[in-house]
Amino acid sequence: MPLHAPAATTAASARELIAAQGGRVTRTRVAVIEALQRSAHPLSHDELGAVLDGADIAHDRVTLYRALDWLVEQGIAQRIAGGERAWRFEIRRGDDHRHAHFHCERCGQIVCLEDVPTASAPHLPAGFELERAELVLHGACADCGRAAAKGSAR
């Protein structure tokens, strides 16, 4: 069973997080963790690929997918369901930190809603075991909502 990232992941370096899980420290894993730690919102595979390209870190799509899968399996990162059947990824901040996400159906952006906690473990029927829970709200973000309001005012 994998350990989970410490509550203050920004205090732990990417190398420390990987080593704590007994994993191989690779440029791709380190760069992905650092990108997720710096990001204000969950990132898609393509967005992470662009970050790696911008840092001149050689990679291919499969290597990036494998790095993301490993980070999720180890509890360092988590997946959030995005639109178009694409995953977004964010760094985990510990088991006790849970929050909702907002998916803008117009621009595709996913925003962390830190002030909207997700419910604690719901009551499940006997024999069921909860592994994870997500709360993703869908609608129009503030920018898209304002743009639509301006368009309808004409």
Q: Are 45 and 98 within 8 A, CB to CB?
A: no
Average pLDDT over residues 11-29: 90
CATH 1.10.10.10 fits 1-94, yes or no: yes
Low-confidence winner among 57-61, 72-76, 124-128 (lowest mean pLDDT): 124-128
Q: Produce one character per residue of 48-61: b if its CB has 16 or more CB atoms within 10 Å, e if not.
A: bbebbeeeebebee
pTM (predicted TM-score): 0.66
- Average pLDDT, rounded, for the chain: 81
Q: Are 140 and 104 within 8 A, CB to CB?
A: yes
pLDDT of 77 higher than 50: yes
> What class is the 98-154 domain?
alpha beta
Percent of the residues in the chain that have a pLDDT greater than 70, as a whole number: 79
In 3D, which of 95, 129, 135, 90 has the Cα closest to residue 115?
135
Low-confidence winner among 3-12, 59-68, 100-109 (lowest mean pLDDT): 3-12
Q: Provide the residue ranges of all domains of the chain, joining segments of one domain with +.
A: 1-94, 98-154
Average pLDDT over residues 23-50: 93
